[in-house]
Amino acid sequence: MRRALLLIGLSAAGCAGGGGAPEGDGKLSSRLVDPAKRPPLVNALDIDPADGDFLLTTNRGSYRIDPKTKQVTSVRGEVRADGRRSPVGTFLELDAVGPGRLLGSGHPDRADAGLPAYLGLMRSDDAGRTWRVLSRLGEADLHKIVAQHGRLYAFDAVLGAILISADGGRSFTERFTPQGLVIDFVVDPEDPRYLLAATEDQLYRSDDEATTWRGVAVGAGIRLAWAGGTVLRADSDGTIQRSTDRGQTFARIGRVPGEPYKFESLDARPHYLALSDGTITETKDAGETWKTVFDPADAS
């Protein structure tokens, strides 16, 4: 019954997981994001270890961004499975696991390609140009993938569960999450059993590898980052909060000029945060101040 209800909700709302109209202090760019399309507007932000380029995926497509020149290159990817192929890149979740090596999930960009609507777990070894399905084709829509502690953690929006794999994604253990779609989650860098997960209106924690959950805070559209012993929390109004006790309590410390969508962290610092129009901001002081390092309106 729960799976059926989730499928009905996903069909009605698309890949839901990000509030309504973006908020901000300035005019939003529509170059990389279509604000008129259904959310999530931004699906993934990561950094390719091969060259330091930002990897950004949105409801318009998949992009590679040179942080120095601000040059944006559209990545035209293709997924192959069961002898069929389709362009892929729109509404794409990805996680960089090595130079040019990506894990991903999403949907075929062509509805007539003959592939299932849910592509399961995919892998690319050429920076997103070609993808092959590893597992759960037609079954799983992974909205976030985390490679940590020698495991893969992912949230499957179809099943409504955190999936955990110890064999590189060939098989998974399923752990159901609290009611509602999880829009973000993080794993304690020091403890593989401790997770924080946010739905559209509440933050939860688990200390038993996602088996049981307890509510710890309320908030709208919470996005999360965890590095260097610090948890950062960004609410949909742009408020930044910080926790030093594993997400049990938070203190407001800053603000970004827009609606936060995706965090990316490099060790303890810096933290990067993509806003709803694809703007990328950076903090080097654990969230207190933020600097725009990429503005899609000014990109070359």
Q: Say what the pLDDT of residue 251 is.
A: 97
User: pLDDT, tens digit, for every residue of 99-144?
Assistant: 999 999 999 999 999 999 999 999 999 999 999 999 999 999 999 9
Question: What is the pLDDT at residue 15?
Answer: 61
Domain boundaries, the chain: 2-298
For residue 267, what pLDDT is reported?
66
pLDDT at 3: 44
- CATH architecture of the domain 2-298 equals 6 Propeller (2.120)
DSSP output for the chain: -HHHHHHHHHHHHSS--S-SS---SSPPP-SS--TTSPSPSEEEEEE-TTT--EEEEESS-EEEE-TTT--EEE--EEEEETTEEEEEBTB-EEEEEETTEEEEE---S-GGGS--S---EEEESSTTSEEEEEE-TTT--EEEEEEETTEEEEEETTTTEEEEESSTTSS-EEEE-SSS---EEEE-TT-TT-EEEE-SSEEEEESSTTSS-EEEEE-SS-EEEEETTEEEEE-TTSEEEEESSTTSS-EEEEE-SS-EEEEEE-TTS-EEEEETTS-EEEESSTTSS-EEEE-GGG--
pLDDT digits (tens, 9 = 90+) for 239-281: 999 999 999 999 999 999 999 999 998 765 679 999 999 999 9
Q: What is the pLDDT of residue 39?
A: 87
pLDDT at 149: 96
Question: Taking the model in full, what pTM does it have?
Answer: 0.90
Q: Is the pLDDT of residue 195 over 90?
A: yes
pLDDT of residue 4: 40
pLDDT digits 0-9 by tens, 33-80: 999 888 899 999 999 999 999 999 999 999 999 999 999 999 999 999
pLDDT tens digits, 100-109: 999 999 999 9
